[in-house]
Chains A and B, each alone.
Chain A
Amino acid sequence: MEKLKKKIRSFSFWNWVIASIIFRLILIYFPNNLNLSSRPEVSTPLTSFRRLSEGYWLKQLSMSPYAGSMYHGSPLLLSLLGPLTVKRIEGQPNHLLYSLVSVIADVVSAMLIRATGQNLQVAYFGTLKSFDLVKQIEGSEVHSPGDVAALIYLCNPFTIVACMGLSTSPIENMAVILCLYGACSRLIPLAAFGWVIATHMSLYPAILIIPVIFLLGRGPDAPPRKLFLQMHQEKGVLNQSKLPPCFSWGPIIHFAFWALLWSVYVLVLCGISLKQFGGLWEMFKSTYGFILTVEDLSPNIGVLWYFFAEVFEFFWNFFLIVFHANILFMILPLAIRLHHRPCYLAYVAVCSMLKSYPSVGDSALYSGLLGWFVNELSDMQFSLFLFCGYVGVSPLSPVMHNLWIWRGTGNANFYFATTMVYACLQIVLVVEGVSAMLNHDRKLRSLITGKPRDAKS
C-alpha cells in the first residue's frame, strides 16, 4: 500500500513536471511572448532581456557594455546569453533559444529543489527516529517536501511568467538553488560555485553565506541540539551516535577556499572581458554600485522607487544605508534564533523584501523554497489570507500600472498601493512562517519532554 501510494505520488509528480514544461513550450509560441518582457513586474533594470541584448550589441560594437546605463549585469552572462539574443531561426518565434534556456534552467532548479527536499526529508525522519516520534507522525499525512517544493516552483504562475518574460531570474534562481543544494548535500565545490555565481549576478545572495555556513557546519534542518540533550536527560539514555554533530569548522574552511578560488576565477574572467572598457572597477560601479545606489527609479514591484522619488537627494545616502542594512539586521537575529534550521534561514534570506529591484522571479524563488517546509509550516496562521492576497495582488498590479501609465486615469499611488500590499504580504509571510517554525519546535519539545507548553501564536 505504501509502495503503491509512493508510486502514484511519484508518477503524478512527473506528470506535473511534464505538464508544466509543455505549458511553457506552448507559451513560447504565443506571439511576442505575450509582451511579458515589457512588464515592470517581470523585467527590472537588472533582469531585463532588452537590456541584455543592448549590452551584447554594445559589446559587439567594441564599446563598453555598461555604456549608457542600460545593462547592469555580469559580463559573463553577455558571453553566455548574448549570442542567443540575436540568433533567429526561420519560422520559429523570435527568442526561442533563450526561452529554451530559461525553461531548462527552471527544470534544473526544480530537480535540484527536489533533491534538496529529499535530503531535508531524510534528515527530518532521522531526527524523528532519534526522538522515537516516528509512530506518531506516520499516521498523519506527511508530504514529501522535495516533490511539493519542486512542483510549487515549476507550476507557480510567477515562475512561468518570469520564464516567459525572458528575464534572467530563472538563471539567478538556479544559481541560488545550486548553492543551497550543494550546501545541503555537503558538495562544497558546488555550493561555493553556486554562491559565487549568485552573488556575482545579483548582490543579495551574498547574505546566503550565513545559512550556508550553518548548513555546512551542522547539517540540514534539525530541531535544536538542546532538545536532544533534554531528551537524553529525560529518558536517561545516552547514545552518542544519535546526537547531531557539533558545529565543525573543517567544511567551512573548505568552503572558504573554494569560494575564494571561484571568486578569483570569475573576477579574472570579468577583468579579461572588460579589459578595454575600464576593467573591474567599471563593472563593480555598474553592477553592484547600481544595485546599492538604486539609480533607476522606474516602477517595479518593490517600494524603493516611490520612496526615493519623494525623498530629497540629501537624505538618499542615509536611507540607502538603512534599507540595505535592514537586510542584515533581519538575518542576524534570526540566525541566532534559527541556527539549527539553516535551510529556513536561507528561505528567509531569499525573501528579500527591501531589494532594490525585485521582480516576480524573486517571489517565484521563495515560494518554491517555502515548499520545503510544508510539514513544519502546516499550522501557519493566515495561510489562506496570504494565498488570497497573492492571488489578488497579481492581477491588480498590471491593472493599476495600465491605469497609471497607459490610460492616465490613475496615478503612481495606485500602483504603489499594490506594491505596498505585496511587500506587506511578504512581511506577513515571513513573520508567520518564523512563528510557525518556532511553534513546531515548541511542539516537538513538548512531545519529547511530555510537559505541556504554551503554543504562542
Chain B
Amino acid sequence: METFNNSKPVLVLLLLPCLLLYSLISFNSSSVEAAMHTNNWAVLVCTSRFWFNYRHMANTLSLYRTVKRLGIPDERIILMLADDMACNTRNKYPAQVFNNENHRLNLYGDNVEVDYRGYEVTVENFLRVLTGRHETAVPRSKRLLSDEGSHILLYMTGHGGDEFLKFQDSEELQSHDLADAVKQMKEKHRFKELLIMVDTCQAATLFNQLQSPGVLAIGSSMKGENSYSHHLDSDVGVSVVDRFTYYTLAFFERLNIYDNASLSSLFSSYNPSWLMSTAYYRKDLYKRNLEEVPVTNFFGSVMETIHTDAAYKALSRRNSGRFEAQMSLDSVHHAERRTLMKVNDQEETHDVNPEGNKQPLQGEEGASKCPWSTFCNKFRKGENVDSLVNYGLVTMIPLLVIPTWLVR
C-alpha cells in the first residue's frame, strides 16, 4: 500500500510528459494537415550592384511585373534590389529599365514598390525576412507576414557559385544558410509550399542542403555550368536579361490570370540548348505531382471561388482541413471543374465557373430533409441571422398591436 502511495506521484510525473508529447505531436500533425492554401507571397531578390549587373535588376523587375500581373498585390511582394539602375547616372533612359533590346516594356513604372533597396539588401536582412526575426521598428511592408497557408515564391538572381550566392559583391549566402532559414520557416509554419527559383551560375548547388518538406526548387544551371545572359542591348550598353529568366518570361507572357498551365509544363519548357545550361529542379521534397499544380499557385494569386449567399465568414483553421477534403471530393464528381492542361498543347482557357449555388458542406444535404433540422443547420451556420432578426422585428408589430387593441 505504502509503495503504491509513494509511486502514485511518480506515475503522475511520468504520465505528464507523455501526455505533453502526445498532445504536441497530435497538434503538430493536425495543424500541418489542416492548413489550407490561403495566400501567395513573393520574395524577389536581386543581389548584385553596379551598372554592368543591369541584367540582374531587369530579371528581378521582370519577375516582379509578372507576379503582379498574375495577381499578387504589393502587400505580399517583398522586392529587394541591391542597386538602382533606373536612376543610375549611366542610364541613358532615365527612370526606365528594359529587359529586351526592343524596349517594348518599361519595367520601372509608377507602381514599383521596392522594399529593400541599395545597401539594405544584405544576407542578414534576407535571412531576417525569411525567418521573420526583425527588430521591432521594422515596418510591416518590409516583413514577410506569411502564415501556414501561404505559398511563397522565392526568386534570387545575381552572381553565384558552388553552394553560394554573392550579395553586394562583399558577402555570401551559403546553401546551408538558406537551408537553415527554410527549416526555421517550416518550424514556425511560415509557409505551406515554397518555390525557390535561382538564376545564377551553378544555381542548383544553392539548394543542395534543403531538407524541409513542401519545398520545390529550380536553378538555372547545375554544378560546373555557367548561366549566361541572353543578349546585349547596344543602346543601353549592357546585357539586359539572363537566359533562364528570359525563357521563364517567355512562358509567362503567353499566360493570363485565368490560365492553368502546370508547373511541369513550365519546367519542361526550358530547353538546355537555348539556355546553354541545364535547368535543374529538385522535387524530392515536394509531395504533389507537378502536373497538377498550376503555376498561378506560386506566380499568381488565383483562388477557388465559392459562391455563398450569406455574408462571408473566414473559415477557422480547424475546419479548413475537413473543408478541403470535401471540396476535392466535390471537384472529382462535378464536370464543371476547371481541368488542368499543358500550355504547349492548347491555348484555350476555361472560364472559372464558381461552384454554383451549392452550399459548401454538401455532405449534410442528404441527411436532413426535415425543414426544422435544415433550419437548425442554417441557424448554426449563421447564414440567416440577419433575416431571422428582421423576422423578429417584423413580428414585434402584430405582437404589439393585437394585445393593445384587445386591451383598449
Contacts and interface: CB of A to CB of B under 8 A. Distances in A.
A439 to B, nearest CB: 36
B389 A275 contact: no
Contact of A190 (B311, B382, B386, B400): B400
Interface of A: 60-62, 75-76, 79-80, 182, 185-190, 193, 258, 265, 268-269, 272-273, 275-276
Interface in B361-408: 382, 385-386, 388-390, 392-393, 396, 399-400, 403-404, 407-408
Contact of B392 (A185, A189, A258, A269): A269
Given A60-B311, A187-B407, A190-B400, A80 B393 contact: yes
B382 A276 contact: yes
A242 to B, nearest CB: 25
A189 B404 contact: yes
B312 interface: yes
A80 B311 CA distance: 18
B408 to A, nearest CB: 6
A3 B393 CA distance: 44
Given A190-B400, A272-B388, A273-B385, A76 B407 contact: no
A272 B408 CA distance: 33
Given A189-B403, A189-B404, A189-B407, A269 B385 contact: no
Contacts of A80: 393
B407 A275 contact: no
A272 B392 contact: yes
A275 B404 contact: no
Contacts of A275: 382, 385
18 contacts: A60-B311, A79-B386, A79-B389, A186-B407, A187-B408, A188-B407, A189-B400, A190-B400, A193-B400, A268-B392, A269-B389, A269-B393, A272-B388, A272-B392, A273-B385, A273-B386, A273-B388, A276-B313
Give the one of B388, B393, B400, B404 with max A CB within 10 A: B400
Nearest to B399: A265
A76 B397 CA distance: 14
Nearest to A187: B404
A275 B311 CA distance: 14
B311 A76 contact: no
A258 B408 CA distance: 15
A261 to B, nearest CB: 9
A79 B382 contact: no
A253 to B, nearest CB: 14
Interface string B302-319: 000000000111000000
B396 A265 contact: yes
Contacts of B389: 75-76, 79, 269, 272-273
Interface in B73-114: none
A371 to B, nearest CB: 25
Given A272-B388, A273-B385, A273-B386, A190 B393 contact: no
Contacts of B400: 189-190, 193
A190 B397 CA distance: 11
Contacts of A273: 385-386, 388-389
Contacts of B403: 189, 258
Contacts of B408: 185, 187
A79 B390 contact: yes
B390 to A, nearest CB: 6
A268 B391 CA distance: 13
A85 B239 CA distance: 59
Nearest to A76: B393
A60 B313 CA distance: 11
